[in-house]
Amino acid sequence: MSHHMNEWPTEPMPNGVVGRKCEHGLLHPDPDDLTLKAKKNFALNLQLAEHECDGCCVDLGQHQREEQEIRDQDRERRGG
């Protein structure tokens, strides 16, 4: 599976999950490794996914979609 963190350097996290280091030096759990380790155990997935986060592991695609929505709503409000 591909994700936007694919090219970040990896480093093991304290809980054994593969971490991806963002440009700010923070480790974010690798989504693929989380899926591998937690399987379909949602609670375990959440537990392993816990980390200090500066938002870099959030998919930009999702963010851009939200911004698009806000722009659309704005246009409707102005009536055009």
Residues that bind Zn ion (CB under 5 A): 22, 24, 28, 53-54, 56-57
Alpha carbon of residue 74 to chain centroid: 27
CB of residue 56 to Zn ion, shortest distance in Å: 3
Q: Is 20 exposed, middle or buried (0-12, 13-18, 19+ CB in 10 A)?
A: buried
Tokens describing residue 54: 């500066």
For Zn ion, the closer of residues 35 and 75 by Cβ is: 35
Closest separation in Å from C-beta 18 to Zn ion: 13
Nearer to Zn ion among residue 62 and residue 73 (C-beta): 62
